[in-house]
């Protein structure tokens, strides 16, 4: 019943608070303005940005109401995710003002947040040998690199995927469902609660973000979602994983991961900075092929669902 309550609470909270935030965004002019000079900006009218604020507060309020976990680990996760959210809000504010936040301070804050998560105890320790059942503990330096790289990578790819109405929210929802199932099967209640709360939040957000969107989550919401997905997978799916089941979270987040790895490789190959946005993501390329926004989003949903079903099958092996 706890999981149903967490789902209901997060979903109903987002459905209630999002219209309020939309009105507030219009009132304070917290809007993404159309910019025809940037080819990846697809909106033709101003869109309110404040959904990220609702995502952040709804997640933590629902989490603390559901299980009342005030451990040091949870407080460190709260602080680290707050850093991610805060730098995302600052980035959104710069964009609203027609400016760009420097990449270095954003990179520093995001990496600091990822390192803080590592020291909270949420980390990739190693994997179980499928042949003899022994646990292979990785060296501490490798645990650190893999954990921080995974968190930073997932945070970044979800943000890069937030290019069409309903896309990042929908892909995050699908991945959250898989990570919830895996955490539940492993008996990791805290990660399962986080996963099901994210499902409710994403569903509530999609009510207002599906095409044509009424509100956007901006970098604040997209990076927060990615960061929490990274945490849930580290603390749930990766924990006590076998060499085979390590691929479960990779498949669950496979579409944004592999798409953006391709984009990053292409940017490096062409000598462009990795953090400078372009229109090489798969959703922009499908738009250029003549598909509508809704068609692109549904095609990518279908691919993501297939990858997540593969993730569950791999987990069951």
Burial of 214 (0-12, 13-18, 19+ CB in 10 A): middle
Q: Is residue 118 domain-resident?
A: yes
Residue 253 lies in a domain: no
| Pure H helices in 187-253 | 189-209, 218-232, 247-252
- Residue 158 lies in domain: 2-242
Domain assignment of residue 15, yes or no: yes
Helices (H), 270-292: 282-288
The 10s digit of each residue's pLDDT in 10-30 is 999 999 999 999 999 999 999
Assigned domain for 158 exists: yes
Check residue 234 and report its DSSP letter. I
What is the pTM (predicted TM-score) of this model? Answer: 0.94
Domain count, the chain: 1
Q: Is residue 281 one of the residues assigned to a domain?
A: no
pLDDT in tens, 49-88: 999 999 999 999 999 999 888 899 999 999 999 999 999 9
CA distances to 241, 251, 308 from 315, rounded to whole Å, are 9, 11, 10
Asked, for residue 215, whether it belongs to a domain, the answer is yes
User: Cα 104 vs. chain centroid, distance in angstroms?
Assistant: 21
Give Cβ neighbours of residue 235 (< 8 Å, ≥ 6 apart). 122, 183, 188, 190, 191
Residue whose token pair is 């990179």: 107
Establish if 251 belongs to a structural domain: no
Tell me the pLDDT band of 42, cut-offs 50, 70 and 90: low
Instruction: Give the angle subtended at the CA of 266 by the CAs of 171 and 298, to the nearest 5°.
Output: 25
Q: Are 7 and 199 in contact (CB under 8 A)?
A: yes
Is residue 235 a part of any domain in this protein? yes
């Amino acid at each position: 019943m706890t999981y149903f309550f967490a789902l209901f609470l997060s979903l109903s909270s987002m459905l209630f608070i999002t219209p309020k935030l939309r009105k507030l965004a219009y009132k304070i002019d917290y809007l993404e303005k159309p910019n025809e000079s940037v080819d990846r900006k697809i909106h033709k009218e101003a869109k309110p940005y404040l959904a990220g604020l609702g995502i952040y507060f709804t997640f933590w309020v629902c989490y603390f109401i559901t299980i009342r976990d005030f451990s040091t680990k949870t407080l460190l996760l709260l602080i680290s995710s707050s850093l991610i959210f805060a730098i995302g809000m600052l980035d959104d504010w710069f964009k609203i003002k027609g400016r760009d936040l420097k990449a270095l301070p954003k990179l520093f804050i995001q990496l600091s947040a990822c390192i803080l998560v590592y020291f909270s105890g949420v980390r990739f320790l190693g994997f179980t040998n499928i042949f003899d059942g022994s646990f292979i503990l990785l060296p501490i330096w490798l645990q650190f690199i893999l954990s921080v790289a995974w968190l930073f990578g997932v945070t970044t790819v979800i943000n890069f995927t937030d290019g069409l109405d309903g896309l990042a929210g929908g892909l995050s929802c699908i991945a959250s469902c898989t990570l919830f199932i895996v955490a539940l099967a492993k008996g990791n209640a805290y990660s399962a609660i986080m996963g099901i709360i994210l499902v409710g939040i994403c569903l509530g957000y999609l009510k207002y973000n599906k095409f044509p969107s009424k509100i956007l989550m901006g970098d604040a919401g997209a990076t927060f979602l990615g960061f929490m997905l990274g945490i849930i997978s580290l603390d749930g799916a990766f924990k006590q994983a076998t060499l085979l089941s390590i691929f479960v979270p990779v498949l669950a987040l496979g579409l944004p991961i592999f798409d953006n790895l391709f984009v990053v490789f292409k940017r490096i190959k062409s000598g462009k900075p990795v953090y400078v946005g372009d229109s090489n993501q798969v959703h922009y390329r499908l738009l250029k092929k003549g598909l509508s926004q809704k068609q692109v989003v549904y095609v990518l949903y279908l691919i993501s669902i297939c990858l997540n079903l593969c993730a569950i099958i791999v987990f069951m092996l």
